[in-house]
Amino acid sequence: MIPDWHIADIERISPESIDEARDLAAATLYEAAGQRGALDPAIRQMAPGLNVCGPAFTIRCQSGDNLTLHAAVAHASAGDILVADVGDFADAGHWGEILTVAAISREIGGLVINGGVRDITALPRLGFPVFARAVSMKAATKRIRGLLNHPVVCGGVEIEPGDLVVGDEDGVVAIARGEAEAIIARAREREDREALMMERLRQGDLTLDLLNLRSIVEPSTRS
């Protein structure tokens, strides 16, 4: 029996919603969510072009210790995005090439962590997406068990197990599982509107007019 530190049975966002979200930019989803869910911009993509999109498998670690990340790789399902709270600790490499290879063999979808990682030159070659606060060569200990699939705060956003996590060059956004379908639909509508706007811009229209900004920039002089 697995003790309470690991909640094994979680509800995940549907595969259909994940497929739809994969075609959407993180910034578009953030806007469609009412400008909610954006993680701290200090959490950045470690290798260009390697994005994440999938259900959150949440991890809470002691700062500077990565024992629970090793446990997460053993228990996560294919496609899961590991979302790790290490207390914003940047002065240790909580994740490196060995864990990357292990995660790839388990078909894990990527890592989002509010702390330091290392061995990032291997990421483009291995094709594994990592979003982290910092790069640190310093070693992590493996002594303290944390929590798996409990709510965490990562990048200032509370994330529940199974929530949708999407990250690209602009950053990472987390969307509550129960709201994901509606927000994805609004994001698609937003993309359609923006496509029409860009076509009008190419035809010579101005953002001042399309976004109704002219009255702010050039207010009426009538008393």
In order along its 223 residues, the chain shows pLDDT tens digits of 445 899 989 999 999 999 999 999 999 999 999 999 999 999 999 999 999 999 999 999 999 999 999 999 999 999 999 999 999 999 999 999 999 999 999 999 999 999 999 999 999 999 999 999 999 999 999 999 999 999 999 999 999 999 999 999 999 999 999 999 999 999 999 999 999 999 999 999 999 999 999 999 888 755 5
CA distance 203 to 207: 12
The confidence score (pLDDT) of residue 1 equals: 45
Going from N- to C-terminal start, the domains of the chain cover 15-178
Query: Which tokens is 162 given?
Result: 């199974």
In single-letter form, the type of residue at position 173 comes to: V
DSSP E strands: which ranges in the chain?
A: 44-45, 52-60, 81-85, 110-113, 116-117, 130-132, 134-135, 147-148, 152-154, 157-159, 164-168, 171-175
The confidence score (pLDDT) of residue 219 equals: 81
Kindly report each contact of residues 13-18 with a partner whose C-beta sits within 8 Å and lies 24 or more positions away, as own/partner. Answer: 13/54, 13/55, 13/162, 13/163, 13/164, 13/177, 13/180, 14/181, 15/79, 17/164, 17/180, 17/181, 17/184, 18/53, 18/54, 18/55, 18/79, 18/164
CA distance 109 to 42: 21
Contacts of 156 (CB under 8 A, 6+ apart): 39, 40
The confidence score (pLDDT) of residue 218 equals: 87
In CATH terms, 15-178 corresponds, of 3.30.1490.20, 3.10.350.10, 3.50.30.40, 3.30.70.3450, to 3.50.30.40
The confidence score (pLDDT) of residue 221 equals: 57
CA distance 124 to 160: 29
